[in-house]
A and B are shown apart, each in its own frame.
Chain A
Amino acid sequence: MATFEVSGFSELNQALSRVSDVPEEIKREILTAMGEEALAAVREAGEAAGIRSADPEAKHVLDALSLSKVKFNDNGGSVLVTFKGSRKDAKHGKRTRQAAVAFYNEYGTKHQRARPFMRPGIERRRQQIYEAGEKVYHRWLKSSF
């Protein structure tokens, strides 16, 4: 844990302003670490829910998981766990976006029971996701003070 030693208000003020001024590359690293942990959580939950297709020809939705670039805005930053690309449906010959396949699994349809894996995956590993970000933050804090 980081500690601060200050002898007066101006030093305290200076120390706190340095903490609030986390460099962009560190913010990017924090969000990426959290995103990677979230992606792993979703993949693990998907495997556990048995959503991997038996069709060896189809690129599977869990293999389409990817992390977007970090974006910054006025509210901070974000990184998205997404499903990239599409796959050919062996039965109908049509292409379906992997994101749609993920949605059908998460929420189900009239004929297919939902097999939620995104929300449960994230909830199961919420603590580890925060910790992945904290680890980067504390490493930076330690090296900065």
Chain B
Amino acid sequence: MKGPTDCVCSEAISRCVGACALVLSGWMLSGSLRATELPLHVSHRMVVPSTTRVSGIGFDAAGAQAYLATGAAVTAFDATSFRQTDSLQLPAAAVAMAIDQEGSKGYAAIAAPAELVVFKLHPLHIESTIPLHDGVPAALLYASSEHALYVLSDASSTITRWDAASGKRSGQVRLSGALGQMATNARGTLYVANTTANAVDAVDEHSMKRLGAIPTKHCVGPTGLAMDPIGRRLFVSCQDGARTVIDTDMGFTFESFPTGTPGSSQMVFAMHPFGAGGWKGAAFNAGGNGELAGLRMNAFVNYSAGGTYALDGKVQAIALNVPAGQLWLALARPQSTTTEANAPAQHVELLVLTPSKGPTP
């Protein structure tokens, strides 16, 4: 393994300098952290046919169809040809979207009026709407293990549980602090990033009672959260640019990558995200700081910094399409950097990243 000063500047100097700084200050905790560029490249990029924010990206179970919630629409794309295949008009702009792959359903939370829109994926059509009375929704999570939806409301600092089958409200927890991304462990515990408390709150999914908090050591202002499919590793990204890995069995932060580029971000994780021959697992986070960062799972108890990838815009949504080996990003871009001559002044691009030649992530 190379030392922290072995930064290889293959592309932009600024990217390399930033990455090296990250490595030097991060070396203290994670000897494996080093400046590398994520071995990904943009295999497809397209302008999103809307000027409004992308509030969610999701895929069907086969990874063949991608669903994009942007403004008051959900648009379906073929994940190979990237051609639009379907679209759905929502009653209002969505603030979040979640997909139930097994049930071939989608859920969109809209703010005005506060509603949960339940829609079918094939073909896209609205199945029902559920009024939300617990404040304006800000985030949404579908937990397949519980067939439950969790709707987070910033205004009321609550997370409300809805039964996906019946559409009935089945519980609520009120938490203090500014809340970020949610994740579940498929064994009855819901986790939510508590940005102001520098902790991850844990909630019993059945009773919707708070079980305690896991402090995000060496990671200030957690916003992004992702769980491994087994439900024992929680990946956290923080506003100070740090990322940590928590063993949820003990509530113990055992891997810390302390310094990255500051900014709020979302996190996603998958085992073998780009195929069986690549990384055992990877967590990616991206947000408003114009950077995609990766954590590589070498073993279940060992992680290293997978590298970073400079983005020319702010990431609005991120999602992994594991069957297709794709990482999708919705990127808000100013006109000056756009590749499309006829693109609007400020617009959103969809980036699909796949492994570069050489070391496969």
Question: Real complex partners, A and B?
Answer: no
Residues of chain A touching chain B, judged by Cβ–Cβ distance below 8 Å, are none
